[in-house]
Structure 1
Amino acid sequence: MGLLTNLKDSISKVTDRLFSDSEPKRIGIYGPPNAGKTTLANRIAIDWAGDTVGPESHIPHETRRARRKENVTIERNSQTVTIDVVDTPGVTTKVDYKEFLDHDMEKEDAVRRSREATEGVAEAMHWLREDVDGVIYVLDSTADPFTQVNTMLIGIIESRELPVLIFANKTDLEGSNVQRVANAFPQHETVPLSALEGNNMDEVYDKIAEYFG
């Protein structure tokens, strides 16, 4: 009798998993170019899935297509959340090929890269309007957060009523000003971190589990 009961319980659990609507939530990592989005995405993926999402670079617009790491399960304080991490291209109002020339790139390559980056911005906007369930918004805490792009993107996120966490990244650098980031968007919680150095990642994961779980 006990064996039969255990078997029924096992079948019930499998059935619940198969027919539940608890699909992984698609969490888009957004922000301006060179804010450290891919560095953060890779940090999350390595810590919880043992793999990276994509290459990192100091050159703007290294990420020119959205990249996705599926089924990343984060366990924090008895909370478990499974997400698909979507690393999106940096959003800007204009991509100028001349900015790539400063990185010893030939003009032909710079023009091609700027075209790809522009297409990537359009793709990132499509994901934001249609395909993400929540947003991690990454800002460089050494830079001015009061920009047209940041205001626009936060406005779109709010209009979709998406849960959003703002991460003030690069706290390891001189000139970091987390409070300036927090003051720019006081309606949302700001979490300081250094994705490169791995500083404050415990709080980062606590907040991800809390907001998106």
Structure 2
Amino acid sequence: MSFFIRTKKKFKKIIARLFKKKQMRIGIYGPPNAGKTTLSNRIVRDWTGDAVGPVSEIPHETRRARRKEGVTIADEKGNAVTIDIVDTPGVTTKIDYKEFLEYGIESEEAVVRAREATEGVAEAMHWLREDIEGVIYMLDSTQDPFMQVNIMLIGIIESRGLPVIIVANKNDLPDASATRIKSAFPQHPVISISGLEGNNVEELYEKMIDYFG
């Protein structure tokens, strides 16, 4: 191989490193029990074989933001995006330790969980205002989307000008209605999926490549 060709290849590698696109930090946000960790685990397992954290029917099971770096999502055409996924605690306007008592958790542990969940929500809001560069907003499509917390969070996301994909989760359940969510937030793309069953996640991956790539 000539000196010219070797130099040209080395130059191309240097240029590629200099102009390599920074991977985006994508936060998965939404109210408690919307399926954020379930989706986080599915994305990470599908593309890395790993997982983010445990899933539970108990509200606020995720009480601290969890991050998985360098997840590359690709399609059959060769388009791809590499992201850092941040699985955040469910954001709500009020956390009461009595919520945990209903699931058989002892009073002392319930108080600790409530405090940790409150701190986790504050942490999630800090991430959203300072560090997050794109958002997947998770909603349980069997529930009313017109909740104060959803309006507040979508407003913050919009005020920062962040790209956002709204996910209407749990479309495997009979009461699911993605149409209701689309009517609530018509200004944003809405993808109907089941994070648990994997229904329609391919469409979500395509939208993530398009929006976050």
Aligned residues: 212
Aligned partner of 1:183 in structure 2 is 183
Q: 1:8 to 1:66 in 2, by over 3 A?
A: same
* 3-state DSSP of counterpart to 1:26: strand
Show CA shifts across 1:66-103 (max 9, x none): 11110001112331110000101110001000000011
SS, match of residue 52 in structure 2: coil
TM-score (norm 2): 0.96
Q: Tell me which residue corresponds to 1:102.
A: 102
1:15 aligns with 2:14: yes
Map Cα deviations across residues 106-134 of structure 1 (whole Å, 9 max, x no partner). 00000000000000000000010000110
User: In 1, distance between residues paired with 2:132 and 2:8?
Assistant: 34
Higher alpha-carbon deviation: 75-84 or 27-36: 75-84
Letter of the 1:192 counterpart:
S
Q: Normalising by the residue count of structure 1, what TM-score does the alignment of the two structures yield?
A: 0.96
Q: Which residue of structure 1 lines up, in the alignment, with residue 194 of structure 2?
A: 194
For the structure 1 residues 105 and 21, does the alpha-carbon distance in structure 2 shift closer, same or farther, using more than 3 Å as the test? same
d(CA) in 1 for partners of 2:34, 2:15: 40
Letter of the structure 1 residue corresponding to residue 87 of structure 2? D
> How far apart, in 2, do the equivalents of 1:43 and 1:192 lie?
15
- Give the distance between the partners of 1:60 and 1:4, measured in 2 at CA: 63
Query: Secondary structure of the equivalent of 2:104?
Result: coil
User: How far has the Cα of 1:5 moved from its partner?
Assistant: 4.1
1:61 has 2:66 as partner: no
Distance across 1 between alignment mates of 2:55 and 2:125: 21
Say yes or no: does 1:136 pair with 2:129: no
Cα separation, 2, equivalents of 1:9 and 1:71: 29
> What runs of 5+ residues in structure 1 fail to find an aligned partner?
none
Q: Percent of aligned positions with the same letter in both sequences?
A: 63
Per-residue CA deviation, residues 157-205 of structure 1 (Å, 9 max, x unaligned), is 0000000000000000120011001111011110000010001011010
Partner secondary structure for residue 181 of structure 2: helix
RMSD: 1.2
- C-alpha separation between the residues in 2 aligned to 1:112 and 1:14? 52
Residue 34, structure 1, aligned to residue 33, structure 2: yes
Q: Which letter maps to 2:177?
A: N
CA distance in 1, matches of 2:111, 2:89: 17
Structure 1 pair 6/90, CA: closer, same or farther in 2 (3 Å)?
farther
User: 1:27-58: CA deviations, max 9, x gaps?
Assistant: 00000000000000010001111100111111
Identify the residue that residue 72 of structure 2 maps to in structure 1: 73
**Which deviates more from structure 2 when the two are superposed, residues 59-68 or residues 8-17?**
8-17
Kindly state the Cα deviation for residue 15 of structure 1 after the two structures are TM-superposed. Answer: 1.6
Aligned residue number for residue 211 of structure 1? 211
